[in-house]
Structure 1
């Protein structure tokens, strides 16, 4: 994937304190976008692909310190960290003083090199408790003093639940595809019954976990809608193979919660691939 850098002509560096900046960190690099909340329109988008396996995130640090748009002040800064190390805790059971205990229910909480943080997913009435590498946490915190941290379940679940409000009585499976894992969110009658992530290396791994979820949740393959996110076209092998088993499978559409400046000419594929980034402002 090549670098993308788009800035609308309406972007005004003198009034960025009225804009929202959303940043996404993933295994494939760093991407960010700028939202004008007055018009509810994205007026800047950048994707800088790289692989950073260093213990202290040297490449990530370089991008954060060198990209011009990231040096400006913003009204809100939202930092999205993509990782499977997260757990959803019902609000009735959530206790901020017990982060390590709650996190340890699903993940190792003995690592001294992580920070645990949580954000509420309002429509799910649950808290998303997740870990972020300590070096990354402090790196971002140093550059953006008032930053809010998120894990990708937050925008994904909020988006799925928002879309379900007009689907009373229906069952819907949402699949969000990442480079080495995918997320499953299953809704029945507008209520979430599953939210989980699965690592996969091969196509058969992907199919196994999806079809196993259908079996375990007693979903009707002919009646359950299956929506794939993070895939930009129907030639994708995951989509083509899944379609053989689940005829109701379709690729998601770009966010309907926000607009994109027509002058930037963001590719439709980018709107789909970076869906969590573009939906992150829903969480504010």
Structure 2
């Protein structure tokens, strides 16, 4: 298991907020000062292989909690972010809380035993309906008591809308180890959100070009911002640049990156600002 973290040693006081993010490929967390809201500590664990089930993921998380003393402290507030592709967006005007499973069944297969919930995304008057990892929520509740949790796409979309200052159609691609999200905005309005699984560079490029074609985006003109698990010298970047000319990284101004051996466009959901 690969680990990246900042070097600051924190005092065990309750004047701290903890934010946790996890998926089947890894686990990361940041610790903020309660008053300043500044990130004081960050750590990311990348698993050598994708976990097959939420049960396997929980075993990994338990091991991390057992060995990482930063997670054994007291916190004023705990926020949890579930990252998976078990979600769908529903505009408020069409939303009915009694029909959560029917929304998801349009895109994924659900079971009668699945717990389904939703987030409010007020910036776009939309609900994000999704399946959280209940077993991990239960474990975290036993550790911290009550906490707030959201789906990663809710946080991603909301942050991008708040940061976006362009009045032209702009594509954002949030890259993870085996999945990626595409967000397309125009004038702070969401034109498209979707999540994809990929196993090759060609898969990655295909979905980007497919979305561009569907929205009639000119690959020589529209800007595409990359964020997450992708670097300049990667084959993933190079194959994308062959077809998308206005290709950029969405750099974070978060000061904590000065202490991290990480690119500033990574870990956007926890550290992007």
Structure 2 residue aligned with 1:267, among 245, 256, 261? 261
How big is the shift at 1:7? 4.7
Q: TM-score, normalised by structure 2?
A: 0.89
Report the secondary structure of 1:61's partner residue: helix
Structure 1 residues 198 and 207, CA, compared in 2 at 3 Å: closer, same or farther? Answer: same
Structure 1 residues 118 and 250, CA, compared in 2 at 3 Å: closer, same or farther? Answer: same
Unaligned runs of 5+ in 2: none
Name the counterpart of 1:239: 237
Instruction: Report how many residues are paired.
Output: 269
Query: What is the root-mean-square deviation of aligned Cα atoms in Å?
Result: 2.2
Name the counterpart of 1:118: 118
How big is the shift at 1:65? 4.1
CA contact (8 A) 2:18 2:79 kept: yes
Q: TM-score, normalised by structure 1?
A: 0.85
Structure 1 residues 184 and 67, CA, compared in 2 at 3 Å: closer, same or farther? Answer: same
Structure 1 residues 126 and 140, CA, compared in 2 at 3 Å: closer, same or farther? Answer: same
Unaligned runs of 5+ in 1: none
Name the counterpart of 1:32: 29
Matched, 1:100 2:101: yes
C-alpha separation in 2, matches of 1:80 and 1:267: 23
Once the two structures are superposed, residues 113-157 of structure 1 have per-residue CA deviations (whole angstroms, 9 ceiling, x without a partner) of x43222212212212221123322322222222211222102211
Structure 1 residues 109 and 41, CA, compared in 2 at 3 Å: closer, same or farther? Answer: same
Name the counterpart of 1:197: 195
How big is the shift at 1:28? 2.5
Name the counterpart of 1:167: 166
Name the counterpart of 2:145: 145
C-alpha separation in 2, matches of 1:37 and 1:167: 32
Report the secondary structure of 2:194's partner residue: strand
Matched, 1:63 2:64: yes
Report the secondary structure of 2:184's partner residue: strand
CA contact (8 A) 2:171 2:185 kept: yes
**More displaced, 229-238 or 241-250?**
229-238
Name the counterpart of 1:213: 211
C-alpha separation in 2, matches of 1:123 and 1:225: 22
CA contact (8 A) 1:177 1:228 kept: yes
How big is the shift at 1:232? 4.9
Matched, 1:41 2:28: no
Structure 1 residues 78 and 129, CA, compared in 2 at 3 Å: closer, same or farther? Answer: same
CA contact (8 A) 1:6 1:266 kept: yes
Q: Greater RCO between the two (CA within 8 Å, min separation 6)?
A: 1
C-alpha separation in 1, matches of 2:33 and 2:230: 25
Name the counterpart of 1:185: 183
